Amino acid sequence: MNNNYSLMIHGGAGTLDHVKEGKDAVRYLESIRIVLEHGRYVLSVGGSAMEAVEVCAVMLEDDPLFNAGCGSVLNENGKVEMDAAIMDGSDLSAGAVAGISNIANPVMLARLVLAKTEHVMLVGEGAMRFAEHCGMERVPDKYFLTKQRIQQYEAAKRKGQQLLDHDAAGQEQKLGTIGAVARDKQGNLAAATSTGGIINKKWGRVGDSPIVGAGVYADNVTCAVSATGYGEDFMRTVLAKRISDLIELKNLDANLAVKQGIEYLQNRVKGRGGVILIDREGRCASAFTTKKMIHGWIENGGETMHRF
């Protein structure tokens, strides 16, 4: 069996034309590279795929460049409501949280749901109580409310739009949802996705990111997938699971599976977004219908690559 490790992360779908050049572009690329190098270390010393995706997702949540954790976008009330999930491909166990606020690292809470409860998903106040019970501290609103996020929200509100973080909203600063997939040296796969959702979304709206089979999926038999884009499109097509099924039932390779999955998203619902995938052999693949998707990868212990 291949005993190398692979890791892939994304920082959201959509155009980043506004940062194609200059220091902002460098910051995105630097961030992606640093996170990948941390994940590489975890996997290279024998850490599990679950550990690697959690470490990467936490680092991305802690970076205000991205639409997750401290960089989350604002809902119609100007508040942060986040969704996150993590899934272990070795036994299909999963943990998810939705509609939570004042938690710095939703992906850690999702992992606690997996580890400490018999449930897959906790939402809203119940999830927050559970966080408290686990000793997770609540962070104040001001931790999330950055100047850029407030401006971005006000622009979307003025136009009456609900937008993807990287959509052209007439804002200078666009940020993006995050995800990580990994294969460890033992051949186990894992996936994690974390988001603040879409800008100016309805209060209580939950997207695809915490929904197993839509925005996140991992199965050692097939692949690990994390999605980004308009969540409703991914929920209606159950896209992450569909891509896994393409590998299992049609024996497609990683590249063909994401290609056909994204074609389905486009053809059936004119879906806007993208996916990253690692298959059971550690092959990395990605596809998207948006102009761009920030992502980076390490395939079977190889060089660190990134693209946006």
Q: Which of residues 6-65 bind ligand ASP (CB under 6 A)?
A: 12-13
By CB under 6 A, tell whether 195 contacts ligand ASP. yes
Q: Is 244 in the site for ligand ASP (CB under 6 A)?
A: no
Interface with ligand ASP: number of residues (CB under 6 A) = 18
Neighbours of 27 (CB within 10 A): 13
177 is catalytic: yes
| Residue 213 binding ligand ASP, by CB under 6 A | no
Work out which of 61, 81, 88, 165 binds ligand ASP, going by CB under 6 A.
165
Kindly name the residue from 15, 117, 146, 177 that is annotated as catalytic.
177
Q: How far is the CB of 202 from ligand ASP (least distance, A)?
A: 12
Task: Find the part of the chain contacting ligand ASP (CB under 6 A) among 24-32, 134-142, 208-216, 239-247.
Answer: 208-216
208 binds ligand ASP (CB under 6 A): yes
Residue 274 interacts with ligand ASP (CB under 6 A): yes or no:
no
Buried b (16+ CB within 10 A) or exposed e, 73-85: bbbbeeebbbbbb
User: Residue 8 belongs to what H/E stretch?
Assistant: strand 6-13
Interaction of residue 207 with ligand ASP, rule CB under 6 A = yes
* Interaction of residue 209 with ligand ASP, rule CB under 6 A: yes
Where is 112: in which H helix or E strand? helix 106-116
Is 197 among the residues that bind ligand ASP (CB under 6 A)?
Answer: yes
Part in contact with ligand ASP (CB under 6 A); list of ranges 17-25, 183-191, 227-235, 240-248: 227-235
Provide the 3-class DSSP secondary structure of residue 305. Answer: strand
In sign, the C-alpha dihedral spanning 304, 274, 215, 17 is positive
Cα 91 versus chain centre, distance: 21
Does 178 engage in binding with ligand ASP (CB under 6 A)?
Answer: no
Dump the DSSP string for 14-61: B--GGGSSSHHHHHHHHHHHHHHHHHHHHHHTT--HHHHHHHHHHHHH
Rounded Cα gap, residues 122 and 262, in angstroms: 29
| Among positions 144, 230, 288, 297, the unique one binding ligand ASP when judged by CB under 6 A | 230
Nearer to ligand ASP, 106 or 282 (CB): 106
Candidate residues 39, 99, 231, 271; the one interacting with ligand ASP per rule CB under 6 A: 231
Q: Which stretch binds ligand ASP (CB under 6 A): 23-31, 134-142, 201-209, 296-304?
A: 201-209
Structure token digits, residue 173: 């600063």
Give the count of alpha carbons within 13 A of 124, CB side only: 5
Quote the least distance from Cβ 254 to ligand ASP, whole Å: 21
Q: Which of 67, 70, 65 is nearest to 19 (CA)?
A: 65
- The alpha helices in 164-253, defined as continuous H runs, are 231-237, 239-250
Smallest gap from residue 6 Cβ to ligand ASP (A): 22
Positive or negative: CA dihedral 21, 272, 283, 45: positive
Tokens of 156: 């979307």
Residue closer to ligand ASP (CB basis): 208 or 279: 208
99 binds ligand ASP (CB under 6 A): no
**Known catalytic residues?**
177
Residues of this chain that bind ligand ASP (CB under 6 A): 12-13, 67, 164-165, 176-177, 195, 197-198, 207-209, 215, 228-231
